[in-house]
Amino acid sequence: MKLKKLALATGLLAAVTFTPAQADINIGVSTSLTGPGASLGVPVRNATEFWPTEIAGEKIKVQILDDMGDPTAATKNAWRFVEDKADLIVGAANTPATIAIAQVANEAGIMQLSPAPAELPEGKDQWVFRVVMNARYYTDGLIEHMKNNGVKRLGFLGLSDAYGESYLQAFKEKAAAAGIEIVSTERFTRADNSVAGQALSVVASNPDAVIVVAIGGGAALPQKALKERGYQGKIYHSPASVSPDFLRLAGADAKDALIISGPEQVPEQLADSHPGKENALAFVKQYETKHGPGSRTQFAAHIYDFGLVLEQIVPVALKTAKPGTPEFRKALRDALESFGPITVTKGVLHYTPTDHWGFGPDARVMLTPSDNDWKLVN
């Protein structure tokens, strides 16, 4: 109840203060402050506190609205930002809500910076830039590790939404070529309180490994269900499982889980040569100084990265147009497409007109739980 009141207060305060001045750069943020996705959405809000308050002499104004992880609410928020003459939109914290915002971004001609891996049809991401890689990119890393560890039979236990589907399709496309057979496929929803039946079915198919595709603390449910049914094989996870809630809720059952992730979660363990290490260390220091030791999350790091991106592209866009205009919105997009490499917490971003994902191989590592924290797997 306190969190919901805080979310309402945040939205009301933002609505009062978000009156665009001619020179202000206005950013609308839609995220999950309440509901089952709050463990992802609250770090998104928290990380906006570390954005610059001024770039190239122009003030940065931020409006934050709660979408509760719901695509309909996210759509309403996005149109509100458009009506309020926002210069760009950030959001959402989950894939379905992000896809909903993308439809508004493309229709209204406003740049969307996405912290979720939204898979969009060809030509439908003209205004959408992600700061997290897609399912195929992470699946390549997962399959490489599986091959190196003798996995031949794979079980899939994942969400029955756009996020889960993106990984299921990626594995269907890539597993056979690696000599891996998908022997069982089970789905569940974010609202499910039990996945016992699905876990039992997966275990019965006798896989060498299982890939769990879930979000935050919700990934603990299938992890525990597999362990409780005596599964002894390897349990892999997609990046969204990397969260304090997963460690807390899975407890001892998190042992030996293997999670593909961005490197910003473990910057202290990265080689000094890693291009994202310096920024990742700076992010961790700032975030944990304010929110406590161990509070870092990749979702906060995604948003922190957007601040680094804006510092580079806003001065370029201002040479073309003034904030609050369609011309400035387009100038921001064009600047990001043509700017070149930008170093962030994960490595090096390099967007182009045909690539709105932007990362290379340095943005992918394998982690495993260790003493209620994360350890880099060599």
User: Within a domain: residue 372?
Assistant: no
Question: Which of 201, 227, 261 marks a domain boundary?
Answer: 261
Query: What's the confidence (pLDDT) of residue 23?
Result: 67
Residues composing the chain: 378
208 with 300, same domain: the answer is no
**For strand 348-349 and strand 365-370, is the pairing parallel, antiparallel, or unpaired?**
unpaired
126 with 244, same domain: the answer is no
Query: What's the confidence (pLDDT) of residue 117?
Result: 86
Average pLDDT taken over every residue of the chain: 92
Summarised one tens digit per residue, pLDDT across range 12-29 is: 444 444 444 456 999 999
Instruction: Give 94 or 80, the one with higher predicted confidence.
Output: 80
DSSP 3-state percent helix, strand, coil across the chain (nearest 5): 50, 20, 35
User: Within a domain: residue 87?
Assistant: yes
234 with 152, same domain: the answer is yes
144 with 78, same domain: the answer is no
User: Within a domain: residue 187?
Assistant: yes
Residue (of 62, 50, 114, 91) closest to 288 by Cα position? 50
15 with 31, same domain: the answer is yes
Q: Which residues pair with 186 in a beta bridge?
A: 157
H or E element, residue 27: strand 25-31
Instruction: Give 282 or 362, the one with higher predicted confidence.
Output: 282
**Can you give the CATH number for the domain in which 194 is found?**
3.40.50.2300
DSSP H helices, the chain, are 2-17, 38-47, 71-83, 95-108, 135-148, 162-174, 196-204, 220-228, 244-250, 277-291, 298-318, 326-338
Summarised one tens digit per residue, pLDDT across range 90-122 is: 999 988 999 999 999 999 999 999 999 888 988
103 with 160, same domain: the answer is no
For residue 198, give both structure tokens. 């699905």
Q: What is the tally of structural domains in the chain?
A: 2
Residue 171 is part of which domain span? 135-261
119 with 7, same domain: the answer is yes
Query: What's the confidence (pLDDT) of residue 294?
Result: 87
